[in-house]
Structure 1
């Protein structure tokens, strides 16, 4: 650290410190011992663990082909959104295990996990996936039921007589 004797030295030192901190955060590649990128995706009550590695584009969810696990075309489309947005069709093999929630929440959780894992494997894809909104965790969950109510907010039917 340089010695500061005057206000001019102080101004130069703070300006140098600001230029160091203002640089954009550098994202580095995060891989495990097998050369895979791992990420956890969440949506509603579903939690997905996702591994991404280079391959032929095979997507496996809970040991099944993703088209067999998610039979609805809408859910299959949701799953493939980050891959299509990043223009990486057929380049990565994806293995996911997902628990909790229903099929819609599980598809959203796997999508979130794929997006995060792709950014860990290829950090330069982050701006594209961030712009598409795939890296944001949708925090909406089902509201709990309150006592004295029929559901979370619905009251029992009012009887005038």
Structure 2
């Protein structure tokens, strides 16, 4: 059985990654407030789908409104940042409550989503798209 991993303030820390985004996440018992880069989640992630992505972990573990999340996220776009925060929350939650590792892992939230943008190739407009063909 794994042990609980906490810092001196009683918080669980984890790093989440997705595409080019990196999220540093601290999790502690509280009222369910999620703060990203000093702003509330409704302000930072204005799109409801991105907030849904972040709260998926708490939905699966039935822990809505039980933990406060403080997060700093850098790099990438909003979608990648939301995925990074989700990955970080998942990791931190399993460090705070090791019992929850099985359901979170079964949902696939502990695995870093390794899909990234394919590099541009020479002789191509983008990664795979050719330049426009001109007959004359």
Question: Does TM-score exceed 0.5, indicating one fold?
Answer: yes
**2:71 matched to 1:93?**
no
Aligned equivalent of 1:51: 26
Out of 28, 31, 56, the position equivalent to 2:6 is 31
TM-score relative to the length of structure 2: 0.96
Q: Greater helix percent: which structure?
A: 1
SS at match of 1:111: helix
SS in structure 1 of the partner of residue 85 of structure 2: helix
Hey, what does 2:81 align to over in structure 1?
106
Question: 1:89: Cα distance to partner?
Answer: 1.2
- Could you list the runs of 5+ residues in structure 1 that have no partner in the other structure? 1-25
Q: Deviations over 1:77-96 (max 9, x none)?
A: 10100011111111111001
- For 2:51 and 2:133, the matched residues in 1 are separated by 44
Give the distance between the partners of 1:95 and 1:41, measured in 2 at CA: 13
- Misfit runs of 4+, over 3 Å: none
Q: State the TM-score, normalized to the length of structure 1.
A: 0.81
- The structure that has the greater radius of gyration is 1
- Matches of 1:58 and 1:106 in 2, distance apart? 18
Is 1:150–2:125 an aligned residue pair? yes
Deviates more, 1:114-123 or 1:151-160: 151-160
Question: Would you say how many aligned residue pairs link Structure 1 and Structure 2?
Answer: 136
- Give runs of aligned pairs for residues 117-128 of structure 1, distance below 5 A: 117-128=92-103
Structure 2, gaps ≥5 residues long: none
Distance 2:104 2:3 in 1: 16
Residue deviations 1:107-134, cap 9 Å, x none? 0100000000000000000011111111
CA RMSD of aligned residues (A): 1.0
